[in-house]
Chain A
Amino acid sequence: MDWIIENGATIAVSAVLLVIVGLIVFKMVRDKRRGKGGCGCGCGGCAMADICHGKNAKNEK
């Protein structure tokens, strides 16, 4: 118990950091599954977005 009280700040900040990292990983995996991942270069704004991230991409795979 003392250990938890002594390291309360470390535990809290670590937890926040873990949640952030978890959310980033979750988002990246979800984006990848939805075909949005990979380039991270604004593919939504790309003229050829449909080719790699659209229905066609799934068909190709």
Chain B
Amino acid sequence: MADMKMLDASDRGLSSGYMMWYRFSRNPAAVIGSLILISIVILAVFAPWLTPYPKHVGAVVDFRARHLPPDASHWFGTDKAGRDIFSRTVFGLRVSLLLVIGVLGISVPVGTVLGLIAGYFGGWVEKLITSLTNVMLAMPPLVMALAVSNLLEPTLTNAMIAITLLWWTWHARLIYSVSKSIASEDYIEAARLAGAGPIHILFREILPNCLAVISVKTTLDAAFVILFGATLSFLGFGVKPPTPDLGSMVADGRQFMPDFWWEVLCPGAVVFYVTLGFNLLGDGLRDMFDVEN
């Protein structure tokens, strides 16, 4: 304890930005993870210019070139319609990233706000929100998602809605526990005594102290959302063909296993690569912020 205090005192001269960067740059997981993610974002954004056959995204059929194994002109081989799998996986990344942005863009703010409110106010508000999250968490996610996309039309938007409906609960629960412990800190009481209203306390006093937890959780979640999205489209509840999607590409290639293994393995490996990137970055961020759980 005593020497911890001393370390604090000695770090006084360093800015928190420098300390963050120092920990980040010395954390191989975080660095590799962010390099992977940067490569993915560049590929997805500039897909039309970076892929050899951007036209193969659409309804192109070239039977002379079907089921070609990987070579110099088709890095990942071709599929049953003779389309370049590499080009299609790169475009498939766009769908995955859209899904992540759509799902987390809604469920993270919603979950965070509900969690903050439940943790700070307590009483019946807390009971209501925690009961609601508990009920939602009790539903098997895949069954729920299948039901929603079955009820509506199987499109990307509907898959997003289905996943979002489930996802906010995890964030609400996490932020609830953090917010509840912060709410009992002296500085929150001091802010109340200084005349702060609930909006100020929730978003200016408690939220900044949750940002580390939120960013770690969101990054790790991105990996799960991609996997979940891929699962849904593998089962046929995702993007409509011919739009390329990593999950449905694996599903399409499945019937040709094991002869034309590249049709499953290559898009599968890309799912792995993206998931790994998010997970590494998430773990790295966790070490960096010293966040537990």
Does A associate with B in a complex?
Answer: no
Hey, which bits of chain B sit against chain A, CB under 8 A?
none
